[in-house]
Structure formats: C-alpha cells, structure tokens
C-alpha cells in the first residue's frame, strides 16, 4: 500500500512536467473541456496530450487519496473501502478464469495497484499498458518495493496502437481506463487483436446510464464536471459501450451495471454527508484539508504554481461524481465479460 504523505504529494505534483510549466499545462488542460467552453472534437483529436497532462497533474493527488488503486468498487455492508477495492480486482481475475502462468494485459494500468494485486491473487504475469511516463516510473518503483518485478512490468504505449503481436495474451482487462479512448471500437479492436482466440476481456467502464437526459441542464453540467476532473473526451452510454465491443468482434458473455445492486453506494467515499477515519483523505473534510495544504505548499514554493487549480478541478469532479451517482445518471462500474471467438 502506498504511504504517500504531504511532501510526496508536493514533490509529485506535475509529474514529468517541468515544475515551472505546471501552471501553463493547467491552462491548456482546462481549455479542452466543456466546463470551460472546450469542444468534444478537440478532446478526441488531442486525447494523448489531454490525458497525459491530466495524469501528470493528477496522479500524486490520486495516490495521496486512494493509495495504489485508482478506482471505485461495488461494496458490501461491513466491508472497508480497501477490502472492497481488492475484491473488485479479484472479481475480474475470477471472471477471466485466470490460472497460474497465464500472460495477462492490464489496459490503462495507472501506477499498477490492480495489476500487482491480480498477479499475486492469480499467480499470473501481468503487463501494464500506460502512455504516461510518470505513472510508469512510479509503478516500476512500487513493483520493486513489492517484490513483484519478476511477474509484473509496464509498457509505455497508446492503447489505440498497441506494440504487441496478434494473439499475445491469455486474458485482458481494463479498470476505469478505456473511457479515455477517443473511439471505443478502435480501442476494443486493438484489445481483440492482441488477445488469443477463445480467451476473454473483462472491463469496468465509466458510463452514463439510461437515466441521463442530454437536454437536462443539470445532467449536462454533471457530465461536464466529471469529464473535466477525470481527463475524459466524452462519457459514453452503457448501450454505446456494449455495441462497440460487439462491433470490435467480441461475443458478449454477460454485462451488468454493478452499481445497481451495490449494498453501499460506490460514491460513498466522496459523499460530503459521510465521514470515515479509515479513508479520511477522500472525505469532504479530508479533501478540504488537502486543498488548504496544497494552497499553503504552493504559497511557500514547495508545490508548483497551478497546483491549487488542479486540486480545485479534482474537487469539482468529486462533486459531479457524487451528484451523478445519487441521480443514477452515471456509473463507474458498467461491467462486461467478452470472448474472442475461436474462429473468425
């Protein structure tokens, strides 16, 4: 488990961006988004730049708040957030039927918390695909500290153009990552290509649900806030994602929005009406403390100029996620398991 503290947060702010250029990077990032008048077409055509800027700016905040696994989870009563996150990851391994010795691909792996957990849980070898240099550098260090460098590694590449041969992997999964793709069919086709025939792809997708009304101004604002605070070109519907994976050639084994029957709401860690000491940094009070700390660190020069603005748009995202969850117009865990046919 990552033990990032205040100084780790300050030193990591901006990722691989030169500290003197963080403020201008924030300016450029914000201009991509509808919340500031940006256009979806620009986000899609410049998705590599947009997503890289986002993760350079946001990763240290994520690690400070979430630890090594940057995702939500279906959660049982009496289950801690950390326990639910691990079970959410184990669920993927079980659905994929992972067995010792398999070669697995994690598409959009972050700093590798899930891939380390899944590799240990299933005794498999997992490659994490990521196009952000800072996250890969951080992930390799965490692999070393965890003692899993022999079974877990990273490859820097765009998941729209993977540097792997056809039929390479025994299983592929993605956790809240392919939502960054400008074209879901193109992304799923690449996953299809590198997966062995007869094997499966499992995913948790960020989606808008059937309750979303594009003509509702509140719904549109919530969607814009989530896209701004999470580096997304567009949030697709569950129907669009399901059709996209079929169009890529997969056979869908089953699909479900796992948020629908989660005993505890997935957005609970961010909900301002809830308080927890075990995940204090994620609570509204904890986030307020973090914003105040970042403002002070920026003021005294330990954090680069622009850091407070990153904290602010991440807070805006948290507000949008909670509101979207409560209105049931957004889910971070639309799950589907899809199989590549033995013969095409």
Residue 81 lies in a domain: no
In the chain, which residue ranges form alpha helices assigned H by DSSP? Answer: 6-12, 22-31, 40-45, 47-66, 81-96, 113-122, 133-146, 184-194, 217-230, 238-247, 284-299, 307-326
d(CA 224, CA 289): 25
Same structural domain for residues 135 and 194?
yes
3-state secondary structure of 288: helix
Q: What confidence score (pLDDT) does residue 295 get? A: 85
pTM for the model stands at 0.92
What residues contact residue 141 under an 8 Å CB cut-off, 6+ apart?
none
At 35 the pLDDT is 74
Residue 222 domain flag: no
Q: Scanning the structure block, which residue is given the tokens 């590449």?
A: 157
Instruction: Tokens 């041969």: give the residue.
Output: 165
* Same domain? 253 vs 282: no
Residue 172 shares a structural domain with residue 301: no
Whether 60 maps to a domain, the answer reads yes
Count structural domains, the chain. Answer: 2
Asked if the structure places residue 310 within a domain, the reply is yes
Nearby residues of 173 by Cβ (< 8 Å), 6 or more positions away: 92, 96, 104, 105, 106, 107, 118, 201, 202, 203
| Confidence (pLDDT) at 277 | 60
Residue 65 lies in a domain: yes
Are 172 and 239 members of one domain? yes
Question: 297 and 281, same structural domain?
Answer: yes
pLDDT at 285: 78
| 202 in the same domain as 124 | yes
The pLDDT of residue 6 is 60
Q: Which pLDDT belongs to residue 1? A: 42
Query: What are residue 106's DSSP bridge partners?
Result: 128, 173
Q: Are strands 125-130 and 152-156 parallel, antiparallel or unpaired?
A: parallel
- Give the per-residue pLDDT at 287: 82
> 250-289: b or e for each residue (b if 16 or more CB lie within 10 Å)?
beeeebebbbeebebbbbbbbbeebebeebebbbbebbee
CA–CA dist 288, 252 (Å, integer): 42
pLDDT, tens digit (0-9, with 9 covering 90-100), for 98-121: 999 999 999 999 999 999 999 999
Could you list the pLDDT tens digit for every one of the 344 residues in the chain?
Answer: 445 566 667 667 778 888 888 889 888 888 888 777 888 888 988 888 888 888 888 888 888 888 899 999 999 999 999 999 999 999 999 999 999 999 999 999 999 999 999 999 999 999 999 999 999 999 999 999 999 999 999 999 999 999 999 999 999 999 999 999 999 999 999 999 999 999 999 999 999 999 999 999 999 999 999 998 888 999 999 999 999 999 999 999 999 999 999 999 999 998 887 766 666 767 777 788 888 888 888 888 878 888 888 888 888 889 999 999 999 999 999 999 999 999 86
Residues 243 and 103 in one domain: yes
- Compute the distance between CA of residue 80 and CA of residue 93 in angstroms, rounded to an integer: 20
Task: Tell me which H or E stretch contains 253.
Answer: strand 251-257
Task: Confirm whether 225 is domain-assigned.
Answer: no
Whether residues 252 and 317 fall in one domain:
no
CA 296, CA 37: separation in Å to the nearest integer? 30
The answer to whether residue 76 sits within a structural domain is: no
pLDDT score for 158: 95
Q: Give the pLDDT of residue 47.
A: 82
Judge if 106 and 239 occupy the same domain.
yes
Q: What is the pLDDT of residue 154?
A: 98
CB of 272 within 8 A of CB of 322?
yes
Which residues, other chains included, contact 193 with Cβ-Cβ below 8 Å and sequence gap of 6+? 162, 166
Domain shared by 247 and 140, yes or no: yes
Same domain? For 17 and 64 the reply is yes
Establish if 123 belongs to a structural domain.
yes
Domain carrying residue 154: 88-216+234-258+331-340
Q: Are residues 36 and 118 in the same domain?
A: no
Q: 213-231 burial, b for 16+ CB within 10 Å, e for fewer?
A: eeeeeebeebbbbbbbbbb
Q: Is 231 helix (H, G, I), strand (E, B) or coil?
A: coil
CATH classification of the domain holding 204: 3.40.50.150
């Amino acid at each position: 488990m990552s033990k990032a503290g205040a100084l780790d947060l300050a030193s990591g702010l901006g990722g691989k961006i030169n500290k003197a250029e963080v403020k201008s990077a924030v300016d450029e990032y914000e201009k991509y988004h509808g919340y500031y008048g940006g256009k979806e077409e620009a986000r899609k055509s410049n998705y590599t730049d947009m997503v890289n800027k986002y993760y350079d700016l946001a990763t240290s905040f994520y690690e400070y708040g979430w630890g090594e696994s940057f995702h939500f989870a279906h959660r049982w009563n009496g289950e801690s957030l950390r326990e639910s996150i691990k079970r959410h990851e184990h669920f993927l391994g079980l659905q994929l039927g992972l067995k010792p010795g398999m070669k697995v691909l994690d598409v959009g792996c972050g700093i590798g918390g899930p891939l380390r957990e899944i590799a240990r849980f299933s005794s498999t070898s997992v490659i994490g695909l990521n196009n952000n240099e800072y996250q890969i550098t951080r992930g390799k260090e965490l692999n070393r500290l965890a003692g899993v460098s022999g079974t877990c590694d990273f490859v820097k590449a765009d998941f729209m153009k993977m540097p792997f041969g056809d039929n390479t992997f025994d299983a592929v999964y993605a956790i809240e990552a392919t939502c960054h793709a400008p074209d879901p069919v193109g992304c799923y086709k690449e996953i299809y290509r590198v997966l062995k025939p007869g094997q499966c792809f499992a995913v948790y997708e960020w989606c808008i649900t059937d309750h979303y009304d594009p003509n509702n101004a509140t719904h549109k604002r919530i969607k814009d806030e989530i896209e701004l605070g999470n580096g997304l070109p567009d949030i697709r519907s569950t129907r669009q994602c399901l059709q996209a994976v079929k169009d890529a050639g997969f056979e869908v084994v089953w699909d479900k929005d796992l948020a629908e029957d989660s005993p505890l709401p997935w957005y609970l860690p961010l909900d301002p009406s809830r308080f927890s000491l075990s995940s204090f940094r994620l609570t509204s009070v904890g986030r307020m403390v973090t914003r105040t700390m970042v403002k002070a660190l920026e003021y005294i020069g330990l954090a680069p100029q622009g850091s407070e603005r990153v904290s602010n748009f991440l807070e805006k995202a948290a507000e949008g996620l909670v509101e979207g969850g409560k209105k049931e117009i957004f889910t971070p865990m639309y799950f589907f398991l899809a199989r590549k046919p033995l013969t095409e």
